[in-house]
Every structure is written in C-alpha cells, then in structure tokens.
Amino acid sequence: MSTIHIVGLSGSLRRDSYNTALLRAAQSVLPDDAKLEIIEYADVPVYNHDVEKHDGYPESVVSMREKLGRADAILFAAPEYNWSIPGVMKNAIDWASRGSDSPLDDKPAAIMGAGGRLGTAYAQQHLRQILMHNDMRVVTRPNVLISHASKQFDEELNLVNERHLDQIKRLLVALVEETERARQ
C-alpha cells in the first residue's frame, strides 16, 4: 500500500493552541505508512452563500479544499467552546462541505481534543454530528479527550503524558485501518 496522507485541522487559531500541539504530537507517533500535514486556514473568510454564488470560492477556500481533497483522511483536533466546536472550525467545514465535489464526502476521519475538565466531549459529539452531513467515516475509538490541558503540556507545548500519546497513536492506527478499508 502507498503512504496514507492525513491532513490535520485544528479548531484553534491561537498561537499557543493545545489542539494544534496535539496535531504536532500526532506527527511524532504516526504509523510508518502515514504522513500528517497540518492545514492552516486562518485566512478563510466567514461563509457567505452570496460570495460563493456570485464570485465562487475565495482563493484561501480553494487552497484549503485542494489540500483536503488530496488527503486520504482528516484528523480533527477540536477544542470546546461553549459545549461545541469553535466557529472557525465549523466555518472551515461549511466551506469544504459545499458542492457535489466536496473534499469531505465519504472521507475517513478521526477526532481528538484537549480542553478543560471534560476534555472536549461535547465538542467531539457535535463534530461527529456535523461530519455526518458528508458521510464521513469517523473512527469512534479510542476516544482522545484530554482534560486539564494546561497540565498535559510542557512550556514548549510538547505533550508530556505518555498515556495520551499512546491514545493518539492508537487513534492514528485506527484511522489508517479505516482509510485502507475505504480504498478497497
């Protein structure tokens, strides 16, 4: 089998984001037959159907959709804002989900997140529901719900909890296996 190309999408645009740090941690524990590219999308504008209808996709949206389209699978790192996913993540999904050529359709995906007391349980639940719109093949186990995120990373934002690193590694193995099934 060829290398599986996974793209990572963090729901936080913050410079010192724990969820972006989770994606970097995932890069360090990838299976041998996979690679992970983290997508930057801070320049994607707020979704507006009038813009899409009259002007087409803005350049930043085209770039994001192309990266998602080249990927074999998507790894979402979802923080929790007010018991749901952040607006920037929903906005990126809204732009990517549009049209009969959506790069999300039937694509394997996995979700993880770092947050407060409950990790990101509510956000992950909402994200799974949103991804159903495009029939994404979301891996359900293991759950990677990192609570008390500020205590799980060092000053350089390296994930220091070995149990969490092992969970991420197992999640990536499950995502690779789902991607291989999708290729058949």
Mean local confidence (pLDDT), 75-94 = 96
Mean pLDDT of the 107-117 span:
95
pLDDT tens digits, one per residue of 9-51: 999 999 999 999 999 999 999 999 999 999 999 999 999 999 9
Please give the full DSSP string across 10-64, using - where no structure is assigned.
ES---TT-HHHHHHHHHHHT--TTEEEEEPP-TTPPPP-HHHHHHH-S-HHHHHH
Total domains in the fold of the chain: 1
The per-residue b/e assignment along 160-179, b for 16 or more CB within 10 angstroms, e otherwise, is: eeeebbebbbebbbbbbebb
- Interval 115-150: pLDDT, tens: 988 889 999 999 999 999 999 999 999 999 999 999
Query: Which pLDDT belongs to residue 184?
Result: 86
Q: Which of 42, 39, 41 is nearest to 8 (CA)?
A: 39
- Residue 49: the pLDDT is 95
For the cut 80, the answer to whether the pLDDT of residue 1 exceeds it is: no
Report the alpha-carbon distance of residue 127 to residue 75 in Å, rounded: 12
Mean pLDDT rounded to a whole number for the chain: 96
Whole-structure pTM value: 0.96
Residue 99, pLDDT > 80, answer: yes
Strand partners, 138: 109
CATH of the domain at 133: 3.40.50.360
Q: What domain range is 53 assigned to?
A: 4-183
Q: Is beta strand 73-77 parallel, antiparallel or unpaired with respect to 34-38?
A: unpaired
- Tell me what the mean pLDDT of segment 150-157 comes to: 95
pLDDT the model gives residue 96:
98
- The pLDDT score that the predictor gives to residue 6 is 98
